[in-house]
Structure 1
């Protein structure tokens, strides 16, 4: 009897508040078995996570995936570096844009695709200043008030 896999989606909510996201990509993630089980339970935190190029490969740093509850001594390290899987063309394009001042690559969300493979959406982003954050909050509030008024 086949088991249905529950779709997962874990979002980095602070990313949209802290950064302007200019471009996005969907990448595969090299994970261990206990990490997959922990992600399916929704146990991940994006606090201070970022992506970094090392020898032409893109690595995900400081994404906290909690240890699997029913794991044994073979459980994973919660903060280990994980390799992101993209094509060479995508990596070269991203690395070229990263050389411009002020850009960084950040993880936006973890989700499962149609085949129950775990994927990560990453974004090329520029940091927001304090006044940009205030403008974003103000625009969101006015949109909410407008929608409320039109109902």
Structure 2
């Protein structure tokens, strides 16, 4: 699952792949594609990176042990990576956003996060122009 809004609203300057702490029903729900990145972002608390606002729908076959749909989830990174990004985050205008969630070759859930800076309105217009131009090129080449 990709977070297309993040690429539209932010200029991504750096990317990392992190592990995420999940419950069993959350993993099953992710396999079904029931994930939404709306309003999801990352923040530091006591030297740890947390993913806040990620919506993972409740697993429909889950029992009373089902998970809460929106809760804080801990991201797993090495200390040196955490310190490096925490230092960059103190700079003005940076934020950390989740870009995609996927399963790696060992069937573990991973989250790609990006160090991002918010785009201005004119930058968003430029992104729309580029997308339109690419779409027109594809249409022209199909003829």
Where on the TM-score scale, by shorter chain, does this alignment land: which range? over 0.9
Correspondence 1:53-64 to 2 at 5 A: 53-64=44-55
* 2:107 paired with 1:116: yes
Give the aligned length: 142
Determine the structure 1 residue equivalent to 2:9. Answer: 18
Cα 1:146/1:32, change in 2 over 3 Å: same
The partner residue of 2:127 within 105, 124, 136 is: 136
TM superposition shift of 1:70: 0.5
Quote the RMSD (CA, aligned, Å): 1.2
Q: Which secondary structure does the structure 1 equivalent of 2:38 belong to?
A: coil
Structure 2: where are the runs of 5+ without partners? none
Unaligned runs of 5+ in 1: 1-9
Separation in structure 2 between the aligned mates of residue 38 and residue 144 of structure 1, nearest angstrom: 33
CA distance in 1, matches of 2:100, 2:121: 24
CA distance in 2, matches of 1:100, 1:16: 20
1:41 and 1:135 map into 2 onto residues whose CA distance is 34
Q: TM-score, normalised by structure 1?
A: 0.90
* 1:149 Cα deviation after fit: 4.2
4+ runs of 1 displaced by more than 4 Å?
Answer: 147-151
**The residue matched to 2:44 in structure 1 has which SS?**
strand
Question: Alpha-carbon deviation of 1:22?
Answer: 0.4
Q: Please give the per-residue CA displacement for 1:127-149, whole angstroms capped at 9, x wherever unaligned.
A: 11111100111122223334544
Is 1:145 aligned with 2:136? yes
TM-score by length of 2: 0.95
Which residues of 2 match residues 80-119 of structure 1 at below 5 A? Answer: 80-119=71-110
Aligned partner of residue 74 in structure 1, secondary structure: coil
- Give the SS at the match of 2:125: helix
